[in-house]
Amino acid sequence: MIIGRSTLEEPEIAYELFQRAHGRGYATEAARAVLDAATVTGRKRLWSTVGAWNTPSLRVLEKLGFERDHVSTEESGEVVWLTRSLP
Ligand SMILES: CC(C)(COP(=O)(O)OP(=O)(O)OC[C@H]1O[C@@H](n2cnc3c(N)ncnc32)[C@H](O)[C@@H]1OP(=O)(O)O)[C@@H](O)C(=O)NCCC(=O)NCCS
């Protein structure tokens, strides 16, 4: 098991919307609700892994207060690992 990647204590958030729904703030709104749910169920930290090319997804995470932790090189290319501390 990789700590910080899909563990119960520090889960990873991911999202995908139909293309016709992009650009209306829905991913940010939905992810914010997930952050709230993670907080009230006792999580102290969330992670996300995003392709370095994925500007929209990185922007969503930036809006939600995620910070870059490190970058890894996978078969699919450069992957940015971001983390968000919860109150
Ligand atoms: C990532 C994804 C969920 C975003 O959904 P969304 O509802 O469009 O996101 P939001 O509208 O909440 O926010 C998108 C932000 O990215 C910005 N953005 C979108 N395309 C951009 C681009 N090409 N360059 C710069 N910024 C861009 C938007 O302007 C917006 O930021 P803003 O509020 O500052 O204007 C959607 O693009 C998607 O489903 N992509 C395919 C699946 C995917 O890549 N999932 C993530 C895997 S980690």
Average pLDDT, the chain: 93
Q: pLDDT confidence of 50, banded at 50, 70, 90?
A: very high
- Supply the CATH classification number for the domain 19-85: 3.40.630.30
- Picking from 12, 27, 81, the residue whose alpha carbon sits closest to that of residue 57 is 27
**Pocket-testing residue among 19, 55, 57, 83, ligand 1, by greatest number of atoms within 8 A of Cβ:** 57
Model confidence over 7-26: pLDDT tens digits? 888 999 999 999 999 999 99
The sign of the dihedral angle between the CA atoms of 3, 8, 9, 12 is positive
Element at 48 (helix H, strand E): strand 45-51
Q: Mean pLDDT over residues 22-45, rounded?
A: 97
Q: Which two tokens stand for residue 17?
A: 């919307």
**Pocket-testing residue among 12, 17, 32, ligand 1, by greatest number of atoms within 8 A of Cβ:** 17
The number of the ligand 1 atom at minimal distance from the alpha carbon of 22 is: 8
Q: Mean pLDDT over residues 53-82, rounded?
A: 96
Domain edges within the chain: 19-85
